[in-house]
Chains A and B, each alone.
Chain A
Amino acid sequence: TQLLEQSPQFLSIQEGENLTVYCNSSSVFSSLQWYRQEPGEGPVLLVTVVTGGEVKKLKRLTFQFGDARKDSSLHITAAQPGDTGLYLCAGARGSQGNLIFGKGTKLSVKP
């Protein structure tokens, strides 16, 4: 059973388009983290959201945590080829223990 479902699995868009990636669960998390992973590298932490309803912005990326702290979304405005990569959401339960990862959304932005 996958505790964190990400959608879509794959996304191929043209430069300049907007997109949204979703991360859903039936479980409550104390925090949710978004990572981006490029080929041959480890995931890099983009943001952590901790409060239900919280919205965080990182340049053209907007992250939202659901009110019930069970889901999250990542919206990219005017995507650029440099945004290409695997986007992973990960849920944490408390300050210790393992993160639970979604399977990721593979984004390709074509010039």
Chain B
Amino acid sequence: KAGVTQTPRYLIKTRGQQVTLSCSPISGHRSVSWYQQTPGQGLQFLFEYFSETQRNKGNFPGRFSGRQFSNSRSEMNVSTLELGDSALYLCASSTSSGIYNEQFFGPGTRLTVL
């Protein structure tokens, strides 16, 4: 089975721009979660999508948004980028039938905001 894929792997943007990141989950996984990872804060939860609906949301401003498509692929968007948005953005997928909420991560998108 192919793992979770994320595109692009690296991205450089300037303040004020917007960015869209893409995630393709493991085949058959219907839940997709997004995390932001920074050296200071570690992994912080952004949001989770299941069957095209946002099921869970972390404590991030409204500039961070996401969506999920009928094939379970997901995108996240960050508008009006700030320097502090520089981070590794990780996508994770899990099976809806799992009872332990085990998540499988993609390699991440490294976003640098200049």
Tell me which of A42, A94, A103 contacts B107 (CB under 8 A).
A42
Residues facing B in A53-71 (CB within 8 A) are none
Contact B90 A42 (CB under 8 A): yes
What's the least CB distance linking A99 to chain B, in Å?
Answer: 6
Interface residues of chain A: helix, strand, loop or mixed (majority) = loop
Contact A95 B48 (CB under 8 A): no
What's the least CB distance linking A25 to chain B, in Å?
Answer: 14
Tell me which of B44, B45, B90, B98 contacts A43 (CB under 8 A).
B90
What's the least CB distance linking B1 to chain A, in Å?
Answer: 14
The segment from A13-21, A44-52, A72-80 found at the interface with B is A44-52
Per the bound structure, the CA–CA distance linking A102 and B107 in Å amounts to 19
Q: Which residues does chain B contribute within 8 Å of A50, judged by CB atoms?
A: 100
Per the bound structure, the CA–CA distance linking A30 and B98 in Å amounts to 13
The 0/1 profile, CB within 8 Å of B marked 1, for residues 6-35 of chain A is 000000000000000000000000110101
Count, A-B residue pairs, CB within 8 A:
66
What's the least CB distance linking A86 to chain B, in Å?
Answer: 9
Q: A42-B107, A44-B105 are contacts. A96–B55 as well, Cβ < 8 Å?
A: yes
The 0/1 profile, CB within 8 Å of A marked 1, for residues 4-47 of chain B is 10000000000000000000000000010101000001111100
Per the bound structure, the CA–CA distance linking A78 and B90 in Å amounts to 31
Q: Which residues does chain B contribute within 8 Å of A102, judged by CB atoms?
A: 42
For B104, the closest partner residue in chain A by CB is A45
Report if B66 contacts A (CB, 8 A): no
Contact A95 B58 (CB under 8 A): no
What's the least CB distance linking A45 to chain B, in Å?
Answer: 6
For B55, the closest partner residue in chain A by CB is A96
- List 20 interface pairs A-B (beta carbons < 8 Å), by A numbering: A31-B100, A33-B103, A40-B108, A40-B110, A41-B108, A42-B92, A42-B107, A43-B43, A43-B105, A44-B105, A45-B103, A45-B104, A90-B43, A96-B55, A96-B56, A96-B101, A99-B33, A99-B101, A101-B35, A101-B42
Q: 15 additional contacts, CB 8 Å, given A42-B105, A50-B100?
A: A30-B100, A31-B101, A42-B107, A42-B108, A43-B43, A43-B90, A43-B105, A45-B103, A96-B55, A97-B48, A98-B56, A99-B45, A99-B103, A101-B44, A103-B41
